Amino acid sequence: MKNTTPFFPGFHRLLFGRTRRSPQQQLQGQVLALKQATLCQLGEVCAPWVPARLLKPPARGAHSRRRLFPQGLTFWAFLSQVLSPESPCRETVRKVQAWYISHRQSRPGSGTAAYCRARSRLSHDTLLDIHRHTAVELQRRVTREQLWCGRRVKVVDGTGVSMPDSPANQRAFPQPSSQKKGCGFPVAKLVGCFCLASGALLHWAEGTLHTHESKLFRKLFAFFLSGDIVLTDRGFCSYVHIAILLRSGIDTVMRLHQARPKDLRKGKRLGPNDRLVTWQKPKQRPRGCTAMDWRRVPDTLTLRLVYVSVIVPGFRTQSLVVVTTLTDPIRYPAEDLAKLYLRRWAVELFFRDIKITLGMDVLRCQTPAMVRKEIIMHAIAYNLIRALMQQAAILYFLPIERLSFKGTVDTIRQWSDTLNAAHSRPREQMRLFNQLLHILAEDRVPYRPDRAEPRVRKRRPKAYSLMTHSRRDYQLDWVS
């Protein structure tokens, strides 16, 4: 009979050692470790911003069966592709094979078809939920010092992305009409909304090349909150937009549209180059404005015009007029409004980070559904990078603009393996993560205010002829 009498109750039980685990218990531990591991160890860096519940296998439907490419592994593999723009599907499959072999499991085949099908099974709504979670977390961690006059500023701008010339993509996103059939690529138009403080991509609207950006801009109105300040270029400046947003408690700071008169002699003078004016409601309802919204638009709007002179050598714009609903000159001085509008250029840098650094400028998927998922994955990857930059900036009291986005991407790719190696040692992993944040804080962008660089390239492109006919026509000419 086994004796369980405690002969030395004053000593801790660890002094007597542990019972040897049975082979079954050891196997259960290995299976648990496999379930907790993630491809490329990206989960060790990004898991705090990606809810594990969203990557669990559903009870039914896609990814509910046990496969070589489960939902969690497929998501992290897809994310690793986004963080390495030159990485093809074949390289990602090799990573998955190495991961399975290192854990002494049967590896998947060398083809890419199974992985591509697994990516197509990723739920569009699940990816959107992950993106919303990253955006909300970034918004929640914005400090009071990062706000502008105690308010959140959301900057909006438009851009375009191209994609492979497949029949399905051509039907959903037609190519420019100036390009010949077989010589161009489908193009999608995007209008994105960013948080000016953290740089997070909060929302976006997509359309074809022939969709006006103002129409896409109106789709974002439902995501703005009362008390926000919307900062845009003159392409979005219209009476209806300002009135609808103001009715919801949302202020705007925009550059005056080129069709509007710039006469600052009218209205009430608030200061030098600062006027309070009244705009009249247009006589005709603009296209895209519903009859209900048109009836709710007031007959007049009291707005503020601020004339800004740009005396920086090399800048393209020499002067501009800012129109805003922030009519209090005491709380919002004209100089502060001018500086705020000059910060609008940050949205161009945000799009550069997504399109050039992460490679979203030229998408790679062959169907519209996968193109939309690829855009969401780029938004998730971008926000995850921004989250680490935000954490490092707050910890070391730095402006987030001084941290390098490209340097953060490179650091994550190299540090993910090191953090994963300390998976079973939480204290060591936390120490390594703090060192990672310290390195991110050291990789600062040089302080170059009002930097002016010519938009030219020194390196010449290769002397290849441009395609003027479809590839099939060229092949027929060569055969004949």
Q: Which of 100, 122, 144 is the last residue of a domain?
A: 122
pLDDT (tens digit per residue) in 410-461: 998 888 777 777 777 878 878 888 898 999 999 998 888 777 777 788 888 8
Give pLDDT, residue 219: 94
* Residue 72 belongs to domain spanning: 30-122
List, run by run, the mean pLDDT of 10-residue segments along the chain (480 residues): 56 55 57 44 71 79 74 88 88 83 78 90 93 94 92 96 94 90 91 96 95 93 95 93 94 91 79 90 87 90 89 71 94 93 93 95 95 97 94 93 93 80 79 90 86 80 84 79
* Beta-strand relationship, 229-232 and 251-255: parallel
Count of structural domains within the chain: 3
Q: Both 103 and 114 in a single domain?
A: yes
In a domain, residue 418? The reply is: yes
In a domain, residue 372? The reply is: no
In a domain, residue 371? The reply is: no
Q: Both 188 and 324 in a single domain?
A: yes
State the number of CA atoms in the 13 A half-sphere of 200 facing the CB: 27
Q: Which of 72, 96, 122 is the last residue of a domain?
A: 122
Give pLDDT, residue 8: 52
The 10 Å Cβ neighbour count of residue 63 is 22
For residues 280 and 283, give the distance between their C-alpha atoms in angstroms, rounded to a whole number. Answer: 9
- Tokens 């805003």 belong to 324
Give pLDDT, residue 325: 96
Q: Tell me whether residue 39 is exposed, middle or buried, using C-beta atoms within 10 angstroms of its C-beta: 0 to 12, 13 to 18, 19 or more.
A: buried
State how far Cα 122 lies from the chain centre. 19
Give pLDDT, residue 43: 66
Give pLDDT, residue 131: 96
What is the CATH classification number for the domain harbouring 176?
Answer: 3.90.350.10
Q: Phi and psi of 444, rounded to 5°?
A: -100, 150
Q: Both 104 and 150 in a single domain?
A: no
Give pLDDT, residue 29: 53
Global pTM reads 0.86
Q: Which of 327, 357, 387 is the last residue of a domain?
A: 357
- Tokens 């499959």 belong to 93
Q: Both 77 and 147 in a single domain?
A: no
For residues 260 and 216, give the distance between their C-alpha atoms in angstroms, rounded to a whole number. Answer: 22
Give pLDDT, residue 34: 41
- Tokens 């710039």 belong to 262
Give pLDDT, residue 311: 74
Q: Which two tokens stand for residue 326?
A: 């922030």
Give pLDDT, residue 30: 47
Q: Both 46 and 176 in a single domain?
A: no
State how far Cα 315 lies from the chain centre. 28
**Which long-range CB contacts under 8 A does 328-332 form with residues at least 24 apart?**
329/270, 329/271, 329/274, 329/304, 331/149, 332/149
Q: Both 286 and 219 in a single domain?
A: yes
Q: Both 142 and 116 in a single domain?
A: no
Q: Both 109 and 135 in a single domain?
A: no
Q: Both 110 and 219 in a single domain?
A: no
Q: Both 264 and 412 in a single domain?
A: no
- Cα–Cα–Cα angle for 131, 136, 139, rounded to 5 degrees: 125
Give pLDDT, residue 316: 66
Q: Both 213 and 92 in a single domain?
A: no
CA-based nearest residue to 415, from 83, 102, 89: 83
Q: Phi and psi of 101, rounded to 5°?
A: -65, -40
Q: Both 59 and 205 in a single domain?
A: no
In a domain, residue 10? The reply is: no
